[in-house]
Structure 1
Amino acid sequence: MDPSYAMLIVMVVVIGGMMWWQSKKAKQQQAEKQDFRRNLKPGTEIITIGQVIGKVVEVDEQYEEIVIDSEGSKMRFSFNAIAREYTRPAYVSDDEVDENGNPLPDNADETPTDDAEAQKPIEGVTAEAETKSADNGETK
């Protein structure tokens, strides 16, 4: 047998295996989505494929439709339009973190106790030099 035929057979088997694996994975994902859509209950927060976010108000399994309330507007969608359950991402304001993204202490007057650099005195600066710089060069 010519080595090129053996290589061709191996490639066909590998490609066939990859196609089977992808098909199996796609069927599993489709089954999970169908199960999620069939088990939707009023009060569940969802997001549609069009990025509309709302809470489930009514589920009509006979016609495979769902009614959601999005900030006072009720809309009817097909089950196929539901992308997934919506979980609101965590939001942190810039006023709540320092420049490195670390949380600020609760009291703004507190200095972080675990930051050794903030508590270490500057080398070469004496109390007299600090007093001079505070009074624009005049010594007390």
Structure 2
Amino acid sequence: MLIVLIVLMGVMMFYSSRKAKKQQQERQAFRTSLAPGTEVITIGGLIGKVVEVDEQYEEIVLDSEGSLLRFSLQSVSRAYVRPAYVSDDDVDENGNPLPKDEPAQITSNEPESDGSETVVEETSVVETPEDADSSPFETQSK
């Protein structure tokens, strides 16, 4: 029984070390493939474009909104891919994209009118300081 546990632990250690080596090789291949113009994100969360890569000193220069910053090559986490953004104006209430030619239409539960126009009277609020006994606001119809 003890031998089975030792063998099982050895197999697990072998697979975990193999996985770690594979990840390390992928990171190294990514860092060597960095070229000017590539957008990256650092382990600190800074997003910028690669300006220069100095493999001799293992340094990288990033441009982040006009600021040139020098980092260690190991501080680059991954390539930055901007997430897709969809405006609420571009989708309907279910999240489905709206056709490009037609504007969004507002639907209501009210029955359609018979063609007659409805006139809505506008009111405005006017202050009347001389009339202290009544309400300080009075509505007037236009």
Answer yes or no: same fold by TM over 0.5. yes
2:86 corresponds to 1:86:
no
Which residue of 1 is the match for residue 103 of structure 2? 108
Name the structure with the higher strand share.
2
Which residue of 2 is the match for residue 17 of structure 1? 11
Name the structure with the higher helix share.
1
Q: Which structure 1 segments of 5+ residues have no match?
A: 1-5, 111-117, 119-128
Q: Which amino acid aligns with 1:47?
A: I
Out of 55, 63, 67, the position equivalent to 2:61 is 67
Q: Deviations 1:9-48 (Å, cap 9, x if unpaired)?
A: 2222112211110110101110111111122111111110
Q: Distance in 2 between matches of 1:62 and 1:131?
A: 77
With normalisation by structure 1, the TM-score equals 0.72
Q: Which amino acid aligns with 2:63?
A: D
With normalisation by structure 2, the TM-score equals 0.71
**Matches for 1:120-131 after TM superposition, within 5 Å:** none
Which residue of 1 is the match for residue 130 of structure 2? none
- With over 3 angstroms needed to count, the CA separation of the structure-2 counterparts of 1:131 and 1:38, relative to structure 1, is closer
Q: Distance in 1 between matches of 2:38 and 2:66?
A: 15
Q: Which amino acid aligns with 1:108?
A: P
**Matches for 1:39-78 after TM superposition, within 5 Å:** 39-78=33-72
Q: Which structure 2 segments of 5+ residues have no match?
A: 119-142
RMSD over equivalenced CA pairs, Å: 2.6
Q: Distance in 2 between matches of 1:31 and 1:87?
A: 21
Return the index of the structure with the highest Cα Rg: 2
Task: Could you list the structure 1 runs, at least 4 aligned residues long, displaced by more than 4 angstroms after superposition.
Answer: 129-132
Q: Deviations 1:38-92 (Å, cap 9, x if unpaired)?
A: 2211111111001111100011111000000001011000011000111111111
- Report deviation, 1:131: 5.3
Work out the percentage of aligned pairs sharing the same amino acid. Answer: 62
